[in-house]
Amino acid sequence: MIKGKKVVSQSFFPSLLLLVIFFAIMGVMNHGLTLSFVKSLILTNTPALCLAIGVTVTILVGGTDISLGSIVSLVNVVIITLAGLGYSITISALIGLLVAVICGVFNGIVIGIMRVNPLLTTFATSTIYAGIALWILPNPGGSIDYAFAKWYMGGLFGFIMTPVMLLILLVFIWAGAIRTPFGLKAYALGCNEKKAYASGINVNGIRVLVHTFAGLTAGVAGICLTATICSGSPTVGATMSLNSIAAAVIGGVSLNGGKGGIFGAILGAGFLSILSSIVVAANFSSYSQSFIKGLILLIGVIASILAGDKVLKDKIKGIFCKGGAKS
């Protein structure tokens, strides 16, 4: 019971609830869930999960990053183009990753050291990165050896799939980072920049690091996406940026900074992924799909914000505890 209470009081609880409910709805719609279905769900949605981690980290320090989707596009075209030129998959993917990290560092330098507003900076750089992607590969196309997709779908130890490993790697890096003094300082910065400066915290350094990490997550997302679609498109990541922010908010991350964590964001992104596939599977006409998805998304965001309301939270807690006592 104590454990149950603890989970309910977490900021990510609404997203967990949504995830479970919609997972169940999907199960009913598909007349049961097969392992292969869940696997394919993970395969296609790992890029979104990666971006949710990246954007959450920037929001936590009181900033934001809307350029991550463009970085994903850029990584995608870089990998496809390099592979087309005859480079090996490994080298193409690593260069793609490097490009993403450089993009992240650039964001970090402009935001952290030149102190430009994060939203404006990443809005501008998202256009720049998308522009470079278009320049490299004006028309969708190209292909990559199927071995890439095989590596991505395959498991390192038989059952654990590559995307799960990559996600765990990102989570591990961040979880490690917040256990160093950097973590507390990042949360402090997210709470109040002026006070953080007055407390002798290296505000600029933290911002650069955080955006670099966000770039890394976009790089991993780009690799995963490329392995899923096995071709190049300069606009493939365009809609992912704002989706990732929505995922973070549903996951209980405060847009004002300093509150929440990547765990919630991952749950939020998972919910959004399931939502998309449900809307597609439900055979709504293609004209109303976007409307219905948006409506449910709005309800999800409102629910998670209301759940941050203390009074409401206590009520929910009360219901939960009663239910628990009966059983």
Partner 1 sequence: MSLEIKNVSKHYGAVIAIKEANMVVNSGEVRAILGGNGSGKSTLAKVISGLVGSNSGEISFDGVPLDFSSPKDAKKHQVIMTSQELSLFKNLTVEENICICNLPTKNMMTNRKQMKERAKDILKRMQLESLMGKLVSELAPNQQYMVELAKAIVQEPRILIIDEITSALYREDVEIVDEIVSELKQKGCIILFISHRMAELYAMCDSVTIMRNGETVGTYPIMDKTEDEYLSLMIGSKIESYHGEGKHQEKSKRDIFMRANHIPIPSYHTYEMLEIGKGEIIGIAGLQGHGQTDLLQALYGGFGKINIELDGKKVTVKNAKEAVSHGFAYISGDRERDGTFSERNLTENLSAVQELVKHKKIPNAKKVLDELHVKYDNQNELITSLSGGNQQKIVVGRWLTASPRIIFADDPTKGIDVNARTDLHKEFAKIANNGNAVVMISSDDDELVSITSMVKTSKVIVMYEGHISAILEGNDINRENIFAAAMPINAIPEEKGAREDDKR
185: contact with partner 1 by CB under 8 A: yes
Please provide the distance, in angstroms rounded to a whole number, between the alpha carbons at the two ends of the chain. 11
Interaxial angle between packed helices 13-29 and 262-281, expressed in degrees from 0 to 180 and rounded to the nearest 10: 20
* Min CB(194)–partner 1 separation in Å: 8
196: contact with partner 1 by CB under 8 A: yes
φ, ψ of residue 310 in degrees (nearest 5): -65, -45
Question: Is 89:145 a contact under the CB 8 Å cutoff?
Answer: yes
Q: Please list every residue from 211 through 270 that binds partner 1, using CB under 8 A.
A: 258-259
- Residue 287 token pair: 């004209």
10: contact with partner 1 by CB under 8 A: no
Q: Which is nearer to partner 1, 28 or 198 (CB)?
A: 198
202: contact with partner 1 by CB under 8 A: yes
* Min CB(259)–partner 1 separation in Å: 6
Q: Please list every residue from 120 through 179 that binds partner 1, using CB under 8 A.
A: 179
137: Cβ contacts below 8 Å, ≥ 6 apart = 77, 80, 81, 232, 233, 234
CA dist., res. 63 & res. 58, Å (int): 5
CA dist., res. 74 & res. 95, Å (int): 11
Handedness of CA 33, 14, 47, 244 (dihedral sign): positive
Q: Which is nearer to partner 1, 104 or 190 (CB)?
A: 190
- The correct pick among 195, 280, 295, 312 for binding partner 1 (CB under 8 A) is 195
191: contact with partner 1 by CB under 8 A: yes
Q: Among 20-28, 163-171, 183-191, 239-247, which window interacts with partner 1 (CB under 8 A)?
A: 183-191
| Torsion angle, alpha carbons of 170, 109, 102, 234, to 10 | 90
Total chain residues near partner 1 (CB under 8 A): 21
- Residue 38 token pair: 């869940």
- The correct pick among 120, 160, 173, 184 for binding partner 1 (CB under 8 A) is 184
* Min CB(180)–partner 1 separation in Å: 5
Q: Which residues bind partner 1 (CB under 8 A)?
A: 179-181, 183-185, 187-188, 190-192, 195-202, 258-259
